[in-house]
Structure 1
Amino acid sequence: MLCVALTTAITWLGSFIVARTTPYMITGLGYGTYFVFASILMAMGAWACFFVPETKGISLEEMDALFARPVLKTCWDQMRGRRIPLDLLESGSVSAEKAEAKEIE
């Protein structure tokens, strides 16, 4: 429950900041305000693409193993199209032969 309350508070804080600063930004920057928000959107999109692993079709057990690994390694494997099975993740090491064998199947 604490996490839900925390994320709700952060969302409300962000909305408050945007609501309070946008009129001043429009007065000062004009249409440049939209470029500011667009650049923030692009930065957050890139962050999500590179640092948030894909979880579609993954079981809860695989999720535990997925988030136990370093995020950059997980994202790099997914960008290369490689899905590493749960039993190999739990062992702590994945050899290239085993990963490629699972990739071909």
Structure 2
Amino acid sequence: MGPYRAKELFFSAQPITAETAHEWGIVNHLYPLEKLEQEAIRFAEKLANGPAKAFGLMKKITDQSSTAGLAEILEQEQITQAMMITTDDHLEGVSAFKEKRKPVFNQKQQVL
């Protein structure tokens, strides 16, 4: 949402609607209350069934991007890609894509 809008929120202490929070990028999705739990579970299951190692490394690089320079982030991305291409999860993802099926990832440990 950017530092200027954030400062406006901090200093004004004015409440905003869920719609405004969504429009400003503070929240990613809006759901009716009766669908909220269902959607939260759906998203949690998607994450739980995903490639945990890749998710962990994506999170690490994204977190570093606010304090590291572009060259450092690109180097980290290159190292990460070289490491991930050797994993069983990568092979499963490629096979599933070629076979037009959902991947079944086995590496549930997270690397941070």
| Same structural fold, with TM-score higher than 0.5 when normalized by the shorter chain | no
Structure exhibiting the larger radius of gyration computed from Cα positions: 1
Flag the structure with higher helix content.
1
Task: Give the alignment's TM-score, normalised by structure 2.
Answer: 0.30
Q: TM-score, normalised by structure 1?
A: 0.32
Structure scoring higher RCO (CA < 8 A, sep ≥ 6) equals: 2
